[in-house]
Structure 1
Amino acid sequence: MDLSLNETQRMLQKTVEDFIARDANRDKLIELQQTERGYSDEIWRTASELGWVGMMIPEQYGGGGSDFSTTAAVYEALGKGPVPGPMFSSGILCGQIILQAGSEEQKKQFLPSIAAGDIVAAFAMTEPDYQWGPAGVRLRPTESGSDYVLNGTKLFVYDGHVADWVITAVRTGDGADDISLLMVDAKAPGVTRRKLDGFTTSESEVTFNNVKVPKANLLGKVNGVKAALDRAIMYATPILCAYKVGGAQAVCDMAVQYSRDRVQFGRPIGRFQFVQNHIVQLVNHLDAARWTTNEVLWKLDTGQDARVGVHLAKTLASEGYRKACDYSHEVHAGTGIMRSYGLTLYTRQSRSLYAALGEPRYHRKQIANLIETIE
């Protein structure tokens, strides 16, 4: 089992790193964080033109057809920025949902435009009474002729405020898995969106007020998308984990460099045992996130059962990124909370993405259920 990057993957990472140094350095990202969109047209255009958005979309639908490890190598480098934008939510997550659940006609309609960056898609599952997974889906559509009608709210919709289309999970039956997916035009009458305030990044609230959705916009079959949605999320999750690993690596590098540069009592603070302990703890969390992520990427690329590995990687990547930021702040002390320094870019990101695609508690429960099934 070789979990190291090959030459092509290292070259791709170098391309992303050069882009960050040139067009998305920390000063630029700090400025963008204060804007409503959170990213720039230049960043989005570059990511689209270089194929980062559509990497996992098959070539027949206008994408790059890359494997999991190659895609993750790029997204890990993006996480080091941390480069903002709907690359993951649109190109990876929604791309996989349409690929797994959509009809051939829907794939041809949406995937080429998503891969090219011409449209942005977002996935809306969670609601005000937060619970990740099908059990938390309460929004029920009503039928009116050839349309479904939606009334309700979706919360924590990543990049929903900039989306052209919102893939919306709705409750269409009383069974635990009786959910369906609707492609909702974000500019349709009755759809309102707002970016959430607070210590967040791209989370949004999407509200539906008598929104009519053509029944032709149903992805897959009524009550028949649970398995396809599970596959899509399983395939997308390790790419999000890689993005978090990149962020954790960046804050580790910042902490180590600061411990060398900052002098106190006549010596670099990295010589003090307590500071060393913070960095060791940081590296422990980083390595746990990195190697569980790399292992599950290898399993997916080699066609092995990766279900437990995906949940484990997501648990450790969410916790690892958050703890890496915590320990980096311990090393930096007061300097770390200065917005102009840049560490808070990652801290905010680590909190924002902590529960994306399910919080660690949810994934631990899934591991327990799967282990019982395997045994």
Structure 2
Amino acid sequence: MDLSLSPTQVQLKSSATEFLTAELPKERVREIDESPTGFDADLWRKMVDLGWTGMAIPEAYGGVGLTNTDFGVVAETLGYYASGSPLLDSAVLSANAILEAGSEAQKKEFLTAIANGQQIFTTAITEPEYGWGPSFIKMGAAHSGRHYVLNGTKLFIPWAHVADQIIVAARTSEGATPEEGISLFVVDKNAKGVSTRLMQGFIGDKVCEVNFNNVEVPASHMLGTAGHAWPALERSMDKATAILSTYMAGGAWKAYEMCRDYSQVRIAFGMPIGTFQYVQGNVIIALTESDACKWTAYEALWMLDTDRKETQIGVSTAKAVASDSFWKACDASHDVHGGIGIDITFGLTHYTKRARTFQHYLGDARYHRARMARLMEL
């Protein structure tokens, strides 16, 4: 296993760093986060122009056809700069759900729209009971002639307020196992009966409550076969989870750099606070947590790209580590900074709130440890 960057990946990292350094100083991150939508349309268009929305999409459907690791390199840089955008949800999770489950016609229609930035997609999985396993998907979709009628609520759905299309996981039947009976539908966000509410709180990327009230969806907008969508959705989630973990690694590394640098310049009792054992301990915690997050994430991406037998275990390992490591690195950095760390103009809280949000997204550490145990047949 060689986790060193290829020449293509070095170039991707360099161009992403140059772009984000210019576009996302910490003041701009705060402005975007505090805006009503949390979405910068101009920044998004520039990401589209860079080809980022097509990285995970094959060339046959208008994309670039890069590897998961290639995308992870860009995601790590996005995390380092605390960039908020629908890139993961549209160009990775939703795009892969279409790739895994969609017909050829659906791939040509929807993937091309994602790749060229014509439309933003998001995927609605979680519900008020909240969980990432198949047993938590309970929203119903009833077959009615040439349509399916969707009723129910999806909760904590990223970027639904700016999305054009929502891929909805719903039950079209009850199966012998929780995995059976789940279907995927592409729903127009502006369809009659669909409503979104932006949720408030100490949140990184914006999330929504999405309600479906007798929403009619053409049967042609079902991805794959009725009742058999879970395997495709799970594979899509694995790819998105590994790439999210690299984003979190980038954020954790920035939190480490901030506490390391501050410990070297903050003077107390006539000396840098980095000479004090307690401070040193926190700097080391931030370093080791961010390192663990990075390398388990890149190992998971390598496993996905090389189709390893234990890829699912590798992905869950990465997210179990990332879910804990990101917030631990941020907490250690806050311990070093003291009061200035909670000043929203300072910049550390950009990472703290993302650590606390992404800790749960696509499954928290507890969920992924339980999944690992199940996959290992323990």
Q: Which residue of 1 aligns with 2:91?
A: 91
Q: Which residue of 2 aligns with 1:239?
A: 243
- Listed one character per residue, the Cα deviations across residues 34-92 of structure 1 (whole Å, up to 9, x for unaligned) are 11221211210111111112211111111110012111111101111111110110001
Question: 1:209: Cα distance to partner?
Answer: 1.4
Q: Which residue of 2 aligns with 1:272?
A: 276
Distance in structure 2 (CA, Å) of the matches to 1:338 and 1:246: 21
- CA root-mean-square deviation: 1.1
Distance in structure 2 (CA, Å) of the matches to 1:22 and 1:343: 19
Q: Secondary structure at the match of 1:157?
A: strand
Matched, 1:184 2:161: no
| Runs of 4+ with >6 A deviation | none
Matched, 1:200 2:195: no
CA contact (8 A) 2:124 2:169 kept: yes
Which of 350, 369, 372 lines up with 2:377 in the alignment?
Answer: 372
CA contact (8 A) 2:241 2:362 kept: yes
CA contact (8 A) 2:152 2:213 kept: yes
Question: 1:7: Cα distance to partner?
Answer: 2.5
Distance in structure 1 (CA, Å) of the matches to 2:373 and 2:186: 33
User: What TM-score, normalized to structure 1?
Assistant: 0.97
Distance in structure 1 (CA, Å) of the matches to 2:5 and 2:144: 53
CA contact (8 A) 1:36 1:195 kept: no
Distance in structure 1 (CA, Å) of the matches to 2:3 and 2:95: 26
Letter of the aligned partner of 1:66 in structure 2? Answer: L
Distance in structure 2 (CA, Å) of the matches to 1:313 and 1:63: 27
Question: 1:141: Cα distance to partner?
Answer: 1.7
Distance in structure 1 (CA, Å) of the matches to 2:127 and 2:303: 33
CA contact (8 A) 2:142 2:172 kept: no
Distance in structure 2 (CA, Å) of the matches to 1:42 and 1:257: 32
Q: Which residue of 2 aligns with 1:226?
A: 230
Q: Which residue of 2 aligns with 1:34?
A: 34
The 5 A counterparts of 1:17-32 are 17-32=17-32
Matched, 1:352 2:354: no
Letter of the aligned partner of 1:230 in structure 2? Answer: E
Distance in structure 1 (CA, Å) of the matches to 2:261 and 2:53: 32
Structure 1, unmatched stretches of 5+, are none
Q: Which residue of 2 aligns with 1:105?
A: 105
Percent identity of equivalent pairs: 43
User: What TM-score, normalized to structure 2?
Assistant: 0.96
- Listed one character per residue, the Cα deviations across residues 133-162 of structure 1 (whole Å, up to 9, x for unaligned) are 211011112233221112211001011111
Structure 2, unmatched stretches of 5+, are none
CA contact (8 A) 1:191 1:209 kept: yes
Question: 1:25: Cα distance to partner?
Answer: 1.1
